[in-house]
Amino acid sequence: MAEPIDAGDRRILIAAAAVMAVLLVLTYAFAPAQRRDSIGYPSSYSSDWAGAKGAFLLLKQMGYDVRRWESSPQQLPTDASGTLLVLAEPFEGGTPEEQAEIRAFVTGGGRLLALGASAAPLTPDAKAIAIPDWHLESKPFTALVPSPLTRNAPQITMVAPDRWTSTQLAPVGLYGTDEQPVAVVYKVGRGEVIWWASASPLWNGIIRQSGNLAFFLNSVGPVGTHVLWDEYFHGSHGSLLDYFLATPLPWATAQLGLLLLVAIFTFSRRYGPVWVPAGESRLSPLEFVDTLGDLYKTAHASPSAVGVAYQRLRFALSRKIGVSSKAKLAELSRAASVRFGWPEAPLLETLSQAERAMRSLDLDDRTALALVRDLHQYSVRLELQGRTSQEMTAWK
Residue type, 237: H
Highest mean pLDDT: which of 23-27, 173-177, 249-253? Answer: 173-177
Residue 225: predicted pLDDT? 93
148 pLDDT more than 70: yes
Residue 294: predicted pLDDT? 73
Comparison of pLDDT for 117 and 37, the residue scoring more? 117
- Contact at 8 Å (CB) between 183 and 196? yes
Mean pLDDT in residue range 149-156: 93
Comparison of pLDDT for 247 and 193, the residue scoring more? 193
Local confidence band at 378 (pLDDT 50, 70, 90 cut-offs): confident
Mean pLDDT in residue range 73-86: 89
Residue 32 CA to residue 9 CA, distance in Å, equals 36
DSSP E strand stretches across the chain: 65-69, 83-88, 111-115, 128-129, 138-142, 155-159, 163-164, 172-176, 181-188, 191-196, 226-230
Comparison of pLDDT for 360 and 396, the residue scoring more? 360
Comparison of pLDDT for 262 and 314, the residue scoring more? 314
Bridge partners of residue 113, in order along the sequence:
86, 194
- 0.85 surpassed by pTM: no
Residue 67 CA to residue 370 CA, distance in Å, equals 93
364 pLDDT more than 90: no
Determine what percent of the chain is predicted with pLDDT higher than 70.
79
Local confidence band at 281 (pLDDT 50, 70, 90 cut-offs): low
Please say whether the dihedral angle defined by the alpha carbons of residues 31, 33, 37 and 41, taken in this order, is positive or negative: negative
Comparison of pLDDT for 166 and 47, the residue scoring more? 47
For 58, residues 6+ apart whose C-beta sits below 8 A from its C-beta are none
390 pLDDT more than 60: no
Residue 322: predicted pLDDT? 83
37 pLDDT more than 50: no
Q: What is the pLDDT of residues 91-147, one digit of tens each?
A: 877 889 999 999 999 999 999 999 988 888 999 988 888 776 566 778 899 999 999
Q: What is the pLDDT of residues 120-133, one digit of tens each?
A: 899 998 888 877 65
For the chain, domains (ranges, CATH) are 53-242 (3.40.50.880), 285-395 (no CATH)
Local confidence band at 213 (pLDDT 50, 70, 90 cut-offs): very high
Residue 137: predicted pLDDT? 79
Mean pLDDT in residue range 79-93: 89
Q: How many CB atoms lie within 10 A of CB 367?
A: 14
Residue 270: predicted pLDDT? 63
Closest C-alpha to 85, from 276, 209, 231, 196: 231
